[in-house]
Structure 1
Amino acid sequence: MMSDILCEPRGGLGVITLNRPRRLNAFQTGMARQLDEALSRLAASAETRVILIRAEGSYFSAGGDVDFFKETVAAGPEAAQQAFAELVDAVHAVIQRLAELPVPVVAAVQGGAAGFGLSLLAACDLVVAERNSRFNPAYVGLGASPDGGISWMLPRLLGLRAARRLLMLGETPDAVAALDLGLIDVIAEPGELAANAEALAARLAAGPTLAYGRIKGLLADSARHTLPEQLDAEKRNFLASAASDDFQEGLQAFLTRRRPEFTGR
């Protein structure tokens, strides 16, 4: 049976593919668990310097599988509550995993993303999207509140007012509007998504990955830190960076006017 998630290490680049194109890469519990396992496997490899999440088919991810929802509700209230709890736990494990990864994660989005698909790309560090993409929070249309950490991420990415507008009114911005909002980072022209996303991933893979991990941690902690706490955290991380091989390489490259060759050590 074909896996819903494909995982392909390519040296320093780890590629994860959402592989349910006939279902618009919609998630059910097993697929979410497979994604978490793939992320864990790549994170455990010392070779992994960047992760690229892409999708087969015409659409990045439609979020939760509506057929799964229909079958779950038909099983009765008690069974439905259990099944939905397992699904939410599985997708939340993915979001937590992404938040804790020390390496950058790039999402390559074609067609668009809805529901948990939107949560998934929001949890990635950088997002490249095709110009024809649209982004749909979707939850309010089902009479549901959101999951997948989107209520935590959108206010930080877009601001509280824009987050409220998207989630409560169910607005569906196109790629240009999403770029203006700060939901995505790069617009790719038709046919250029793979090349653009892989070029961005290669650029990150050649960079100081230890510093990237520290940057991710500092940004994540900034929301709960006071300014003095954040300054202390910056000091600790800078001193750790200054003791790394990458810092020595970066300094020598700057002084000798050459391109640095970082090793992630």
Structure 2
Amino acid sequence: MSQFDTLRFELENGIARISLNRPDAAHSLNLQMAQELAQAAILCDSNSDVRAVVLTANGKMFCAGGDVQSFHQAGDEAPQLIKEITANLHAANSRFARMRAPLIVAVNGTAAGAGFSLAMSGDIVLASEKAKFTMAYTGIAVSPDGGSTTWLPRLVGLRRAQELIYTNRVLSAAEALDWGLLTKVVADEDLATETDKIAAQLAAGPTEAYARARALLLSSYENGLECQLEQESRGISHCVGSADGQEGLAAFVERRKPSFKGE
């Protein structure tokens, strides 16, 4: 059901699969891909049938970052082009962060620049053993985008974030896991299977509870304690009153496996 040129988009069994698809350009982010990512994120955010989202790429590369070739060709118009690209990329980032469904990122190869930023945005981040990670931005004299200056310090701490941004150190998958950037590293040949397994598990889960948990985690760094406690109270109260909440309580009391509908 893909309607895009630079992405593949499929929705089946509650799982939306977005695959970056510019293999001849190492899946680098140009204006069209940024626009299509924003559109795909809106589809995921707007469709109640979507209960888990997978973001990955086709082939052996995840994302080389921004399409530097197009930036260079834009000449004096490059600043305007970058504003258009980031406006769309950041709209996608925001939708992915605030949608109901959890986001699983499967990093199948090198993730550089904006590719690294996209990888960090997942709730669950899986990587193949051959995956590599580098910020890369300052290597071409630009500053980071894609939400990386929010996610990176949260995940690895300020000092390590500074090192990655200023030196463009390349992390192996094992190092990225050790630093807290990943959920799990799997063998290259097992990445798709492991991703499908987790996506199916989340798609069968209590989507509204996931949505409330995602929102709470997103606000946890900006809210004071009492504000966060109030949001937690409202969130759990809402969930208990939902159809899935009632099913979860009944299944627990009746000692059976719950059947969640995402409602």
Counterpart of 1:230 in structure 2 is: 228
- Residue 127 of structure 1: how far off its partner (Å): 0.8
User: Do the aligned residues in 2 keep the contact of 1:53 with 1:105 (CA within 8 Å)?
Assistant: yes
Counterpart of 1:81 in structure 2 is: 79
Counterpart of 1:201 in structure 2 is: 199
Q: Write out per-residue CA displacement over residues 44-83 of structure 1, whole angstroms, 9 at most, x where no aligned residue.
A: 222110111121111010110121122123xx2xx22211
Counterpart of 1:172 in structure 2 is: 170
1:187 pairs with 2:189: no
3-state secondary structure, aligned to 1:102: coil
Matches of 2:213 and 2:60, distance apart in 1: 33
3-state secondary structure, aligned to 2:188: coil
Give matches, 1:149-160, under 5 Å.
Answer: 149-160=147-158
- Residue 43 of structure 1: how far off its partner (Å): 2.2
Counterpart of 1:14 in structure 2 is: 16
- Residue 169 of structure 1: how far off its partner (Å): 1.6
Q: Which residue type is aligned with residue 93 of structure 1?
A: A
Counterpart of 2:66 in structure 1 is: 64
Between the two proteins, the alignment pairs up a number of residues equal to 261
Paired-residue identity, %: 38
3-state secondary structure, aligned to 1:224: coil
Q: Write out per-residue CA displacement over residues 24-52 of structure 1, whole angstroms, 9 at most, x where no aligned residue.
A: 10010111101111121232222110111
User: Residues 64, 163 of structure 1: CA spacing in aligned structure 2 closer, same or farther, 3 A cutoff?
Assistant: same
- Residue 125 of structure 1: how far off its partner (Å): 1.3
User: Do the aligned residues in 2 keep the contact of 1:128 with 1:193 (CA within 8 Å)?
Assistant: yes
- Residue 146 of structure 1: how far off its partner (Å): 0.6
Q: Which residue type is aligned with residue 189 of structure 1?
A: A
Matches of 1:186 and 1:109, distance apart in 2: 11
Q: Write out per-residue CA displacement over residues 202-245 of structure 1, whole angstroms, 9 at most, x where no aligned residue.
A: 11111111000000000111111110111111001111011012
Counterpart of 2:142 in structure 1 is: 144
**CA root-mean-square deviation:** 1.4
Give matches, 1:209-224, under 5 Å.
Answer: 209-224=207-222
Q: Which residue type is aligned with residue 176 of structure 2?
A: A
User: Do the aligned residues in 2 keep the contact of 1:9 with 1:42 (CA within 8 Å)?
Assistant: no
User: Do the aligned residues in 1 keep the contact of 2:45 with 2:95 (CA within 8 Å)?
Assistant: no
User: Do the aligned residues in 2 keep the contact of 1:62 with 1:113 (CA within 8 Å)?
Assistant: yes
User: Do the aligned residues in 2 keep the contact of 1:14 with 1:51 (CA within 8 Å)?
Assistant: yes
- Residue 16 of structure 1: how far off its partner (Å): 0.8
**Worse-matched range after superposition: 81-90 or 209-218:** 81-90
- Residue 2 of structure 1: how far off its partner (Å): 7.3
**Worse-matched range after superposition: 192-201 or 86-95:** 86-95
**Worse-matched range after superposition: 157-166 or 11-20:** 157-166
Runs of 4+ that moved beyond 4 A: none
Matches of 2:178 and 2:130, distance apart in 1: 15
Q: Which residue type is aligned with residue 11 of structure 1?
A: N
Q: Which residue type is aligned with residue 182 of structure 1?
A: G
User: Do the aligned residues in 1 keep the contact of 2:44 with 2:99 (CA within 8 Å)?
Assistant: no
Matches of 2:56 and 2:33, distance apart in 1: 14
User: Residues 226, 2 of structure 1: CA spacing in aligned structure 2 closer, same or farther, 3 A cutoff?
Assistant: closer
User: Do the aligned residues in 2 keep the contact of 1:24 with 1:57 (CA within 8 Å)?
Assistant: no
